[in-house]
Structure 1
Amino acid sequence: MKALNLYGIQDIRFEETKEPIIESGTDVIIKVKAVGICGSDISRYKKLGPYIEGMTFGHEFSGEVVEVGPEVFHIHAGDRVAGCPTYYCGECESCQKGELSRCEHLTVIGARHPGSYAEYVKLPVENIISLPDHVDFETASLIEPSSVVAHGFYRTTMEPGEEVAVMGCGSIGLLAIQWAKIFGAKKVYAIDIDDTKLAAAKEVGAEVLINSLNKPAHEQVSDHTNGRGVDLAVESAGSPITSSQIFALPKKGGEVVFMGIPYADIQIERYYFERIVRNELRVLGSWNAISSPFPGKEWEASVHYMNTGQINVKPMISHRLKLEEGPETFDRLVNKKGPYVKVLFIP
């Protein structure tokens, strides 16, 4: 089969690779129909992270089952599915407590297990998510990032009727806007420096659009809230700058949840750091997308709200490309050669 394999820093290759085979009674092999590029993929491509040289990359996907192991009875060839790409050890203290996202040995396909930038991918049956008829393959390929966002919102104390600011309108931010609405937000502020992304934010439900190039985001939020601030601020840009600025957005006693990963050192100016202390903020980190019982309520809820249409990913998808365009696409993404929001490969 053809696949995109990572060999080193900015060295990804479209090449012939061995197809997965059934090795365990619980294995499921899926023909990939759509697979998305994650921000973590871009970072790993740019400067590496956990990986094995030549490993097939990618982890956000959907597809059709082609073969199952002898111990698989409720999933059949021809079924439409998505896959939770995460492996947990089940033995560490966090796993024993049911806190699977905190597993000491957490990993995802595309790192130490073959990933989904390929024609076929293999996962254990417990990682398989069945799709309802009205959730198409493109939508289903974003169940994993949607579950990442849901996991973050479940960590907060958000209540219906509150106001939420989402800083960074990439795919995680655009999903966060929609999850904020599901959790009952009466108003969502979308913040970015890219008007194209802000337009997408409006399409998925944001009421207030803030371009922070024009004026600092916290000043604009203050203008809109009569100096109060929002109840919850979501950091979804994953940049060192926004990871500092986010602390100036909530009201006194408000919350911040980090869903983005900056992959760089963060220098927090005194003004922003003092917002944590002086406003007695509650600051939360959120990692991965799984909970107990595995893969977790995040996945079930994502499928449900995609099925009802309350999560709409179509405005997020900016590119649908062939797998063979992968090397050029990663180069363009890393070197910012053009506007991208969510890129899907259609093998």
Structure 2
Amino acid sequence: MMALNLHGVGDLRYEEVPRPERKPGEVLLKVKAVGICGSDIPRVFSKGTYHFPTIIGHEFAGEIVEAEDSALVGRGASVFPLLPCGHCEACNQEQYARCANYDYYGSRRDGAMAEYLAVKQENLCLLPEGVSYEEAAMSEPAAVALHAFRKSGVGQGDTLLIYGIGAIGLIVAQWAKAAGVKNIILVARTDDKVEFAKKLGFSLAINAKKEDLGKLVEKVTEGRGADTCIEGTGASESWAECICLAKPGGRVVCMGNPLGGMSLPQDTYWKILRKELTLVGTWNSSFGSRENDWREAVQAMQDKRLDLESLITHKFSLDEYKEAFALMHERRDMYCKVMFVM
């Protein structure tokens, strides 16, 4: 089969590799769509993966073509990419995102930028009727966004500020809209992302480089401050703004992967104390029997609470990988979700 195989930092190759063989407890998936995550860019161009070569790709969906259970053959599925150890304290509590010894499709083991992938049957999220493979390939960011939104604690009548208008930030905004959140403020630092958010119906999108974010928050909350701010960029400056704009007794959800060291001015740190803020971390998503962000995500695709196809701005075939990765790495154009469709 053909796959995108990372042989080293900056050495991504479209090449023929052996088709995977299904092991006990696995199904063979014919990959139909796979998204390029923002985290795939440093994997390819700067950080690498845990070993070389590695087939990358962890946001994906496809058709089951081989399985121990014949009833699964022909079904569509997305796949929870985290493989928990199953033995640690976190796993015993079904908190798989906190697993101490997890594996991961697309970084620690081969992933889905390939024609086929053998995956654990227990990691399948079967697709309901009416959900396309392209939508389903966004199950991972949709579940990550839901996990973060649940941490926010906001609901009807509240104000939520989301710093970062990327795919996950926009999906968080869609979850918030579906939950009846009154004011959804989306913050970016470029006009094209603000315009994209406004076209999707989020009128309170703002370019913080050109407009006064503090005045907007003061206006829509009548001076109270945002109930929760979600930091989605991993930058110290936006983290500090979230702390400053949260209301007394409010919450700041730390979601963005840090670009480097994170630091706060003394006055900003004082605001955490004096306003008695709650700082919450969020990572990955839940995939347990009691709480399962993935099942909720695909259900929301089916009942149209989420409109994920509107976020797919670019589609490529797998052999067009150079153009797809250059688009993101060099920021050649405004993009939200870039996806390979097979």
Secondary structure of the residue aligned to 2:94 is coil
Q: Report the CA distance between 1:206 and its aligned residue.
A: 2.2
Q: Confirm whether residue 231 of structure 1 aligns to residue 231 of structure 2.
A: no
1:53-64 paired onto structure 2 within 5 Å = 53-64=52-63
Partner residue in 1 for 2:29: 30
TM-score (norm 2): 0.94
TM-score (norm 1): 0.92
Partner residue in 2 for 1:190: 186
Partner residue in 1 for 2:134: 138
Verify the 8 A CA contact 1:244 1:266 in the aligned structure 2. Answer: no
1:76-155 paired onto structure 2 within 5 Å = 77-155=73-151
Which residue of 306, 320, 332 corresponds with 1:311?
A: 306
Instruction: Flag the 1:266–1:46 CA change in 2: closer, same or farther, 3 A.
Output: farther
Letter matched to residue 103 of structure 2: T
Letter matched to residue 13 of structure 2: R
RMSD, aligned α-carbons: 1.9
Instruction: Flag the 1:74–1:256 CA change in 2: closer, same or farther, 3 A.
Output: farther
Partner residue in 1 for 2:46: 47
Partner residue in 2 for 1:179: 175
Q: Report the CA distance between 1:260 and its aligned residue.
A: 1.5
Instruction: Flag the 1:186–1:84 CA change in 2: closer, same or farther, 3 A.
Output: same
Letter matched to residue 340 of structure 2: F
Q: Report the CA distance between 1:216 and its aligned residue.
A: 4.8
2:268 and 2:212 map into 1 onto residues whose CA distance is: 12
Q: Report the CA distance between 1:275 and its aligned residue.
A: 2.4
Instruction: Flag the 1:155–1:66 CA change in 2: closer, same or farther, 3 A.
Output: same
Letter matched to residue 51 of structure 1: Y
Q: Confirm whether residue 292 of structure 1 aligns to residue 288 of structure 2.
A: yes
2:206 and 2:279 map into 1 onto residues whose CA distance is: 23
Secondary structure of the residue aligned to 2:19 is coil
Verify the 8 A CA contact 2:34 2:58 in the aligned structure 1. Answer: yes
Runs (5+) with no aligned partner, structure 1: none
Verify the 8 A CA contact 2:85 2:103 in the aligned structure 1. Answer: no
2:30 and 2:141 map into 1 onto residues whose CA distance is: 20
Q: Confirm whether residue 321 of structure 1 aligns to residue 316 of structure 2.
A: yes
Verify the 8 A CA contact 1:30 1:63 in the aligned structure 2. Answer: yes
Verify the 8 A CA contact 1:173 1:237 in the aligned structure 2. Answer: no
Verify the 8 A CA contact 1:178 1:204 in the aligned structure 2. Answer: no
Verify the 8 A CA contact 1:174 1:200 in the aligned structure 2. Answer: no
Letter matched to residue 5 of structure 2: N
Secondary structure of the residue aligned to 1:132 is coil
Secondary structure of the residue aligned to 1:39 is coil
Verify the 8 A CA contact 1:43 1:263 in the aligned structure 2. Answer: no
Q: Report the CA distance between 1:125 and its aligned residue.
A: 0.7
Q: Report the CA distance between 1:83 and its aligned residue.
A: 1.1
Runs (5+) with no aligned partner, structure 2: none
Q: Report the CA distance between 1:97 and its aligned residue.
A: 2.6
Q: Report the CA distance between 1:160 and its aligned residue.
A: 2.3
2:161 and 2:249 map into 1 onto residues whose CA distance is: 15
Verify the 8 A CA contact 1:143 1:302 in the aligned structure 2. Answer: yes
1:244 and 1:107 map into 2 onto residues whose CA distance is: 33
Instruction: Flag the 1:74–1:237 CA change in 2: closer, same or farther, 3 A.
Output: farther
Q: Report the CA distance between 1:191 and its aligned residue.
A: 0.7
Verify the 8 A CA contact 1:254 1:282 in the aligned structure 2. Answer: yes
Q: Report the CA distance between 1:337 and its aligned residue.
A: 2.5
Q: Per-residue CA shift, 1:267-324, capped at 9, x if unaligned?
A: 2223432321221111100011124228x42011101111111100122111001111
Secondary structure of the residue aligned to 1:52 is coil
Partner residue in 2 for 1:202: 198
- Higher alpha-carbon deviation: 54-63 or 105-114: 105-114
Secondary structure of the residue aligned to 2:110 is coil
Letter matched to residue 64 of structure 2: V
Q: Per-residue CA shift, 1:53-77, capped at 9, x if unaligned?
A: 0110001011111111x3x3552x2
Secondary structure of the residue aligned to 2:39 is helix
Instruction: Flag the 1:31–1:229 CA change in 2: closer, same or farther, 3 A.
Output: same
2:42 and 2:289 map into 1 onto residues whose CA distance is: 30
Verify the 8 A CA contact 1:240 1:266 in the aligned structure 2. Answer: yes
